[in-house]
Amino acid sequence: MGTIKNRKTVFQDLGIRSFEDTWELQTRYFEKIIAQKKSGDEFTENHLFFVEHPHVFTLGKNGSEENLLVPLDELDRIDASYFPINRGGDITYHGPGQIVVYPVLDLENFEPDLSIYLRSMEEAVIETLKSYGIESSRYEGFTGVWLEPDTERARKICAIGIKTSRWVSMHGLAFNINTDLDYFKYIVPCGIDDKGVTSLQKELGHQVDMEEVKKILLKNFEMIFGMEFLQESKAANQY
């Protein structure tokens, strides 16, 4: 008999919240799940957060600060902040009109394979874009979700960067919906200087209902990962 997998997941939409506060929240649950695993707890927790951040640039541990094209002392002028952080990948931007998804999961409750995990997150976005009549796909050699990869018009609509330890994940994806794309001019996005960046709003030619996108994206996470979402009140009793 195989080990019973706990795919019950607590979902929270945090609304608009600072990157720093959300990073601390993720870290708290990340460390809690690792502690559960170390203690031999049979049922470890899973959490999924949706959030929008105020303007912020984050640099992954393998990235180069040279890819931030605005001097640090000028960040106040553009109402932005900057954090070197502990995920993989290079530099990226988060801001209003972008859905940031942070799965803090015990991947052994799902599929303990980082490639499958990354492809599953990409698939959730790809399926969401299909709901809006937009064909997207992966781009060999890169993470994230792209439109018209392998063409001169290749452009990225979703970036992904994660950290894992003992098969516990944190950080996640950033999906451009009604995002101010001008902020990407202040960085070399993900360290890639010859590809464009886009948003759902830009592709459709009109502003998009964020709440509608969230509902579709959440449904796709549920389907692709096999998650069973818990209400917070129920979760308090089960965890």
Residue whose pair of structure tokens reads 């209003």 in the numeric block: 96
Q: Which residues pair with 13 in a beta bridge?
A: 50
CA distance 178 to 131: 16
Which residue spans within 81-224 are E strands per DSSP? 81-84, 91-94, 98-104, 145-147, 155-165, 168-176, 196-197
Residue from 179, 169, 171, 221 nearest 199 by CA: 179
- Tell me how long the chain is: 239
Rounded-to-integer distance, Cα 7 and Cα 4, Å: 9
3-state SS string over 47-107?
Answer: EEEEEECCCEEEECCCCCHHHECCCHHHHHHHCCEEEECCCCCCEEEECCCEEEEEEECEH
Identify any residues that bridge with 83 across adjacent strands, giving them in sequence order: 58
Catalytic positions, written as ranges: 190
Q: Report the amino acid identity of residue 155.
A: R
